[in-house]
Amino acid sequence: MAAAFLILGLAVGAGAVWLWARAALGAQEAALGAKDEAVERERAAAAEKISLLERAQAQWEERFKSVAGEALSKSQTSLLQMTEAKLAPIKETLQRFETQSQALEQQRMKAVSVVGEQLRAVAEGQERLRSETGNLVTALRAPHVRGRWGEVQLKRVVELAGMIQHCDFHEQESGRDDTGRLLRPDMVVKLPGGKSIVVDSKVPIEAYLTALGSDDVDQRKLHLARHAGQVREHITKLGAKRYWQQFDPAPEFVVMFVDEGLFRAALDQDPALFEAGADSGVVLASPSTLIALLRTVSYGWQQETVAESARSVNKLGRELYERVGVFVGHFAKVGRSLDSAVGAYNQALGSLEQRLLVTARKFPEHGVGSEEIVEAAQIERAPLTLSAPESAPPAPTKAATRRADGDDLVALPGFDDAHAA
């Protein structure tokens, strides 16, 4: 029974709770409905505001686009104009650069063409040179051609040294040794004072020419070594001829003229050739060193010419000095004659005044003559005399002699026989 009452109580309580909850839920639904209406009204108002804002935004966007477009158009135009103004010099520079580049390219193409032609010409020239060199090597193997080539080269060196105009060298002079054998050097250079320097250019070149024509390196070295040996042997033979004895007075050496290429090739193989030459009285000379030697000789001739001119000037000075003495003697005689003439004039004037004019001036008193006789004045100024002793009459001294024409040479002070030395 209790359980039934409990269940009934629970059911009544549940019903009461349900009723209360429903009433509360209804009130909440009513409140929610009111809120929904308010929210709806606010939503509608917000939607209207949003619509107004969207329309305003669209209008502002249209206006901004219009203004921005105009500003952008103006800005772009101004920017383009400014850019064109700024870039105009660059554009002109680029145009000039392009023009110059085209011109340079054309010049380069022409230069390439010219260089190509020149290279072909060089190649052809080298080929001709190789052929002519071969012909020259063949020709130089002949003794007479080789000798003539050495003489021409030697003469060219002498021309470069300026010795031809002085005429102080002689080609192909000859002498004889103690056995009577004829010795013929290639050139004898004349030195001031009658001395001589003998120059010989007969250098063996057969081994050197063979080395030039060889393509094998080892064979070329062998021929060059043989060339150095031939040069050393020629030094010994040349020293044994003792040219300085046949062309005395001469320094005790002979100049061995060697072509530059032959000279270097021999020295590379045998650096002691200079010492060998010194021992044999032979001076090795390439064209450059021979030019220096000949120019030194030329300088000596110049100094000799200066000395000869000085001697001539001394002689002319002595002769002029003597002639001045003769003239001074004549001039002193003229002074003495003038002094005598002035004395004679004054004596004649005194006689005129005292003996003639005294009587002549009385004629006007008697009506004879209408003008007075002009008085003549005496000459009181005497001629100057030379203060130097030269003005004195020449004394019969050693320094004063009589010339062939009869004029006396006046002895001048300070001039004696020492001046004629």
413 band by pLDDT with thresholds 50, 70 and 90: very low
Number of residues in the chain: 421
Report the share of the chain in percent with pLDDT over 70.
76
Name the residue type at position 42: E
**pLDDT value at residue 130:** 63
107 band by pLDDT with thresholds 50, 70 and 90: confident
**pLDDT value at residue 292:** 87
The Cα 252–Cα 256 span in angstroms is 13
- Are 201 and 154 spatial neighbours (Cβ–Cβ below 8 Å)? yes
Helix (H, G, I), strand (E, B) or coil at 237: helix
| Region 358-379 average pLDDT | 70
Which of residues 133 and 241 earns the better pLDDT score?
Answer: 241
- Are 166 and 298 spatial neighbours (Cβ–Cβ below 8 Å)? yes
**pLDDT value at residue 398:** 39
The Cα 115–Cα 202 span in angstroms is 43
Which alpha helices (H) appear in 141-185, and where do they start and end? 143-160
382 band by pLDDT with thresholds 50, 70 and 90: low
Name the residue type at position 159: E
Given a cut of 50, whether residue 322 has pLDDT beyond it is: yes
| Region 218-244 average pLDDT | 87
**pLDDT value at residue 145:** 58
- Are 197 and 189 spatial neighbours (Cβ–Cβ below 8 Å)? yes
**pLDDT value at residue 223:** 87
Domain ranges of the chain: 87-140, 143-285, 314-347+380-421
Span of 164-173, 273-282, 304-313 with lowest mean pLDDT: 164-173
Question: Which candidate, 284, 282, 277, 242, places its Cα nearest to that of 259?
Answer: 284
- Are 400 and 409 spatial neighbours (Cβ–Cβ below 8 Å)? yes
Q: Are strands 254-257 and 282-285 parallel, antiparallel or unpaired?
A: parallel
Query: How many CB atoms are closer than 10 A to CB 281?
Result: 18
Q: DSSP assignment, residue 204?
A: -
Measured CA to CA in angstroms, residue 407 lies from 210, 330, 395 at distances of: 81, 9, 13
| Region 287-292 average pLDDT | 87
Residues β-bridged to residue 105 = none
| Region 314-322 average pLDDT | 90
The Cα 298–Cα 170 span in angstroms is 14
Measured CA to CA in angstroms, residue 307 lies from 19, 197, 313, 418 at distances of: 164, 22, 10, 18
Span of 191-200, 203-212, 282-291, 385-394 with lowest mean pLDDT: 385-394
The Cα 347–Cα 52 span in angstroms is 160
**pLDDT value at residue 371:** 66
Element containing residue 196 per DSSP (H, E): strand 196-200
Given a cut of 80, whether residue 316 has pLDDT beyond it is: yes
- Are 255 and 247 spatial neighbours (Cβ–Cβ below 8 Å)? no
Which of residues 53 and 310 earns the better pLDDT score?
Answer: 310
Strand order from edge to edge, sheet including 187-190? 169-171, 187-190, 196-200, 254-257, 282-285
Given a cut of 50, whether residue 406 has pLDDT beyond it is: no
Span of 122-131, 268-277, 328-337 with lowest mean pLDDT: 122-131
141 band by pLDDT with thresholds 50, 70 and 90: low
88 band by pLDDT with thresholds 50, 70 and 90: confident
The Cα 163–Cα 301 span in angstroms is 9
Query: How many CB atoms are closer than 10 A to CB 134?
Result: 12
Please confirm whether the linkage preceding 249 is cis (ω < 30° from 0): yes
The Cα 161–Cα 120 span in angstroms is 38
Q: DSSP assignment, residue 384?
A: P
Sign of torsion over alpha carbons 327, 332, 337, 341: positive
Given a cut of 60, whether residue 369 has pLDDT beyond it is: yes
Give the N- to C-terminal CA distance of the chain in Å, as an integer: 193
Widest CA span of the chain, in angstroms? Answer: 234
